[in-house]
Amino acid sequence: MFFIAGINRKREQLDYYEPIMCSACTKYGRFEAYVEYSVLSLFFIPIFRFGKKYYARTTCCNSLYLITNKEKGLMMERGQGHNVFLKDEDLMLIQKGFSGRTCPNCYNQVSQEHNYCPNCGTKL
Ligand SMILES: [Zn+2]
Ligand SMILES: [Zn+2]
């Protein structure tokens, strides 16, 4: 007898757009949230979901956070995102984004306040 089983990783955008003052780049931006989960399917029929994780991403600099408060993630997933406010303790920074510029000469990442690349001195 054949078993055709597969695991797919899925991602869904959540209904959540929270304006924030970004702690990574200190600009005003928005949080966008999405959920990722794995689906086990047998004979191409999804059987169950597992390994669900909620993420928030800032629109200003693409910083990525894991939403550690699953209750809030679940509320967003149920379309109650307008009742959710993410606090610092609900979030774990995974990847700090970058909103500055890239030096055209040496590809060093330079923050906005510099007019010259600190690495090679090229004017930006
Ligand atoms: Zn930012
Ligand atoms: Zn440079």
Q: Are 34 and 57 in contact (CB under 8 A)?
A: yes
Number of domains in the chain: 1
Quick: pLDDT tens for 91-103: 999 998 876 778 8
113 found inside a domain? no
Whole domain around residue 73: which residue ranges? 5-99
90 found inside a domain? yes
Distance between Cα 89 and ligand 1 center (Å): 18
Q: Are 31 and 70 in contact (CB under 8 A)?
A: no
66 found inside a domain? yes
Distance between Cα 109 and ligand 2 center (Å): 8
**pTM, rounded to two decimals:** 0.75
Distance between Cα 116 and ligand 2 center (Å): 8
| Structure token digits, residue 119 | 């690495």
How far apart, in Å, do the first and last CA atoms of the chain sit? 65
Distance between Cα 43 and ligand 2 center (Å): 54
107 found inside a domain? no
Residue 123 host element (H or E): none
Quick: pLDDT tens for 71-90: 999 999 999 988 999 999 99
